[in-house]
Structure 1
Amino acid sequence: MIKKIPHRVTQLAATVTAFALALMFGVSAASAQVKPGDFITPDNASQVKDLVSPGVFYKVQRGMTMKIVPTERIDWPPPYTDATEKYSSQVQLSKDHRTLVGYVAGQPFPLIDANDPYVATKVIWNALWRPISNDDYDLRYFDCETVYSGYKKSFFPIEYLQEGHYAGYDLVGRTEVEPMPIDPDFKITNRLWLFLLGPELAPQNQRGSSLLRYRYGSPTHGDDTWSWEPGTRRLRRLNEAMNSTATDAQTFSPDHYSGFTPKTEEYDYKFLGEKEMLATVDAEHSPEMRCATDGGGSACPERWQMRHMYIVSAEPRRTTNNASALDSKTVIYMDSEMWFEPYTDTYDRRGALFRNNTFWLAYRDRPVPDAKVAIYPFKREFVVGSCSTDVQSGQASMCYLPGIETPERECWYINMGAVDKAFFTTEAMVKMAETGHM
């Protein structure tokens, strides 16, 4: 049984652990390679080689710039903190150490011990029930541009994409919107969360494309996923393995839309360590800035700061529904305060670096400075930019959240009851795709 640990104690433990590692492994020496006020370009990229993932370093070498700023503390939303203190003491892993037992709301494992033999699995479960959004969310009108990125390349988009919704609804772990903490529907359907992407609004030949996905509590019940395509104008049931595959010109796959989100039990995890590394957790810009020095393949210049990261590798279990997953391995870099992955790297079947997914997050009480509705009584994290890069071809899909050319700038509605379960049905998806009504 895990003892109940207040959030402030968790943060103290993380600080002590980070200090100990610095002494043991020379992290402080590595951190000294950069300091607040430094500006990183391809010309001095070697300064950050050991402070970012190989995929992020690839992007810096090819034009993405960084403004180094002081480290800032990131606090959880108070309702999430309260739920963690109330419920975490009753959470444990199942006998096979893969599934959560006793989870209700908040963070399952607020005290992370690097010597715990199951620390990697606990980090992943913490990431699933992250504080960034745990009731519902609706990201409205965002756009993505696919380019061939590279140092000093001119901006020439291969594809422009605009989406109407990126929305989700959690049935378990709710802390701000009724029903709390668990939607009664969970006992009937066993669904943990619901997700909808769409309808696609541009390009015109893909208008109406949508994706609907359900995650279940049973460790043996794979995700249910459906798509609607304008060419056939029919609903299609997808094989679960397709969630690890990018479509069209986009390099994002559904399993990596929000960091690393395949079904947790279908992967084996290994803890690779913890380290001070650079990430964007308090972005300066919203909407994000199209990077002028890498052909639009990232958001730059942007603020990066030193963060304490847990590093975990995830390999698909070949005996599960995800046996044909495209990636042989994903390396996850997890921020130990905000519990969101600032970046992940994936590797192909040969073991070569394949894709990098980078996320730029802002820490504030509203997603944009002039918000009229999406305003909170406390600061929370918002993803304001995301990019997936195929490092083997140089193709990158950069998404702006809110979009650069979209009609609504508030964009993010988190834990506000903006969507309910009725929004996440195949009937609603088809109707919205066919009519174009948002």
Structure 2
Amino acid sequence: MNRALSFTIAITMLLAGAAPATAADLKPVTPAGIESGTVITKANAAKVSSLVSPGNYVLVSQGMEMKIVPARDYNWPPPFRVSTEQDSSQVRLGPHGELTNYLAGLPFPLLDANDPGIAQKIMWNFQFGPAYSDDLDSQDTEIQNFTPGGGNPFAAYPIGHLAVYRNLGREEVAPTPTDYDGDTGIMERMALGPIIVPIEPPFWQTPWAYMVRYRYSSPRRSDIVWSDLSVPRYWYGEFPSIGNSDYLLGNAFFGNLDLDSLFGFAGRFQDFDFKFLGEKEMLAVVHARSLPARRCAADGGRTICPEDWELRHVYVVEADAPRPSRFADIPAIAKRILYIDSQGWFITASDQYDHDDKLWKTLAIFNTVRDREYPDSKAAVYSFDRLFQTALVDEDVQSGYSTIFFTPSPERPQHDTWFINQGIISQRWIVPQRFTTHREYFY
């Protein structure tokens, strides 16, 4: 087209009241050939078959709708970026895969696919990624469980706090970069509770429950978990994914979700063999529109939709559990395939396999990036964008039962619930003496 003709067309459009198309008006196409703005339903799910995990593809095929949007960067918090630049060059893997010489920031910003330790390094990058470094308090969360037919949850458990305190890798709240409690070697403390249990005695002695976990830096030292949960096995009836009360520490609690699947993966690294499977482009939810997350009407409410999905570059790591479950009657998860965002170092999805190497469960994790939860937030407003998890879906693809961990719960009044690196949680807050303790486990 010559200049004269181009000028004539532009003038004609302006006189007709139509402005020429700008870059913002154009619909970019993903590398997979899917036009931005396309809504993926179960009718056209095949379009994304190679862009989601096998388990997540089951969710899309069942009706979990996806809106394809252009990818956006997730910029690291400035303190995390500075710590990485200053301290990462000295970090090494120890003889047992442990982290040595680590202070703060991303442990291994430079990775080599031919490095025999790359899988372990990717996992340490996930452990000490930029989402939070000092402390985290996710308030008013809720676990909801659904049958294969969807509908209203058959069980729901409001949770007061999902709290984490890091003793290692601290960047924003004094003391930094470490806060070892009397040189105990504790790397991280986590608490979950109070968990409101909607069951009356004699099944429960109290209407709430807690869980506290200590994790140590030493690969030779096991986690310690305190819990006051005491769930009678027979109460669950025919629900296939729950065993006795010890399932909390083995594979699942309050539905499909297991303790080692919080945030996508929360297992003790020394209990798993990691294998690097490669890199690929995958769809993930990083800039979710809805907070709280919304149940998906198209699949009966068993997952989250519609939501914005963007193409991300991920590392794929296999996590094998070499040891069988210590509870003989519980079918432990034998293998997990983890999809880890190469920019934000969070897990976007995970597929879990049984001992027959059959797909058993799948996780779909929904995140958003913003400087506050809501436009009118007042309690937690940050000077830079933070990553918030909005929900985690854990579906048993063999039985069809589904669990959604809402962070925060859509059933509670809207208020600030995510407090990241604000000193809200201290190591004195996460202690077993704070809670009613019935049991202590070493595993």
Considering the TM-score relative to the shorter chain, is it more than 0.5?
A: yes
Structure 2 CA distance for aligned equivalents of residues 53 and 244 of structure 1: 24
Would you say the 8 A contact 1:30–1:50 is kept in 2?
no
1:258 aligns with 2:254: no
In structure 2, the CA distance between the partners of 1:269 and 1:154, relative to structure 1 (3 Å rule), is closer
Query: d(CA) in 2 for partners of 1:119 and 1:240?
Result: 34
**Using the alignment, how far apart are the partners of 2:420 and 2:435 within structure 1?**
21
Matched, 1:140 2:139: yes
Change (3 A) 1:240 1:125: farther
Alignment of 1:142-221 (within 5 A): 142-149=141-148, 153=149, 155-185=151-181, 188-205=183-200, 207-221=207-221
Q: Which residue of 2 aligns with 1:41?
A: 41
Correspondence 1:280 to 2:285: yes
Offset at residue 197 of structure 1 (A): 0.4
Within 5 Å, give how 1:314-353 maps onto structure 2.
314-318=319-323, 326-353=332-359
- Does the C-alpha gap of structure 1 residues 321 and 269 become closer, same or farther in structure 2, counting only changes over 3 Å? farther
**Aligned equivalents of 1:256, 1:225: Cα separation in 2:** 16
CA gap 1:196/1:182 in 2 versus in 1, 3 angstroms = same
| Deviations 1:311-348, CA, capped at 9 Å, x for gaps | 00011233998999811110000000110001111100
* 1:297 alignment counterpart: 302
Q: 1:239 to 1:399 in 2, by over 3 A?
A: closer
Q: Quick check: 2:39–2:68 contact (8 Å CA) kept in 1?
A: yes
Question: In the TM superposition, what is the alpha-carbon distance from 1:32 to its structure 2 partner?
Answer: 2.2
Q: Which has the larger radius of gyration?
A: 2
Q: Which runs of 4+ in 1 moved over 6 A?
A: 238-241, 319-325
Counterpart in the other structure of 1:386:
392
How many Å separate the matches in 1 of 2:173 and 2:223?
25
1:143–1:406 contact (8 Å) kept in structure 2: no
Once the two structures are superposed, residues 166-222 of structure 1 have per-residue CA deviations (whole angstroms, 9 ceiling, x without a partner) of: 10100000011111110041x521100000001112424462111110100110111
| Structure 1 unaligned spans of 5+ | 1-28, 233-237, 432-438
What secondary structure, in the 3-state scheme, does the structure 2 residue paired with 1:229 have?
coil
Q: Which amino acid aligns with 1:426?
A: P
Instruction: Give TM-score, length-normalised by structure 2.
Output: 0.84
Contact 2:331 2:354 in 1 (8 A): no
Q: 2:406 maps to which residue?
A: 400
Residue 125 of structure 2 corresponds to 126
Q: Which amino acid aligns with 2:388?
A: F
Aligned to 1:257, the other structure's residue is in SS state helix
Q: Is the 8 A contact 2:369 2:385 kept in 1?
A: yes
Structure 2 portions without partners, runs of 5+: 1-28, 233-243, 438-443
CA distance in 1, matches of 2:350, 2:413: 30
Match of 1:359 in 2: 365
SS in structure 2 at match of 1:79: helix
Q: Is the 8 A contact 2:107 2:125 kept in 1?
A: yes
Q: Which amino acid aligns with 1:107?
A: L
Aligned to 2:434: 428
SS at match of 2:114: coil
Partner of 1:5: none
- Measure, in 1, the Cα distance between the counterparts of 2:301 and 2:355: 29
Whose helix fraction is larger, Structure 1's or Structure 2's? 1
* Cα shift at 1:247: 2.4
Cα shift at 1:34: 1.9
Asked if structure 1 preserves the Cα contact closer than 8 Å seen for 2:371 and 2:384, the reply is: yes
Please report the RMSD computed on the Cα atoms of aligned residues, expressed in angstroms: 2.4
Q: What amino acid does structure 2 have at the position aligned with 1:375?
A: V
Letter matched to residue 275 of structure 1: K
1:246 to 243, 252, 267: 252
Code of the aligned partner of 1:401 = T
Which amino acid counterpart does residue 192 of structure 1 have in structure 2?
Answer: M
Deviates more, 1:85-94 or 1:361-370: 361-370
Q: Counterparts of 1:309 and 1:199 in 2: how far apart (Å)?
A: 35
Decide whether the 8 Å contact of 1:313 with 1:331 is kept in 2.
Answer: yes
1:133-179 Cα shifts (integer Å, max 9, x gaps)? 11001111112221124xxx551311111101110100000011111
Taking the aligned partners of 2:180 and 2:61, their CA distance within structure 1 comes to: 50
TM-score (norm 1): 0.85
- Distance verdict in 2 for CA 1:369–1:429, change over 3 Å: farther
Q: Distance in 2 between matches of 1:141 and 1:117?
A: 42
Shift of 1:112: 1.8
Partners of 1:240 and 1:108 in 2: how far apart?
34
Match for residue 95 of structure 1? 95
What letter corresponds to residue 303 of structure 1 in structure 2? D
**What SS class does the counterpart of residue 44 from structure 2 fall into?**
helix
Q: Secondary structure at the match of 1:430?
A: coil
**CA contact under 8 A between 1:281 and 1:304: conserved in structure 2?**
yes
Decide whether the 8 Å contact of 2:30 with 2:70 is kept in 1. no
SS in 1 for 2:393: strand
CA contact (8 A) 1:155 1:292 kept: no
SS at match of 2:58: helix
Residues 268-320 of structure 1: CA deviation (Å, up to 9, x unaligned): 11111100110000000101111101111111000000000000001123399
- Residues 255, 371 of structure 1: CA spacing in aligned structure 2 closer, same or farther, 3 A cutoff? same
**Distance between the aligned counterparts of 1:373 and 1:91, measured in 2?**
36
- Report if aligned partners of 2:247, 2:253 keep a CA contact under 8 Å in 1: no
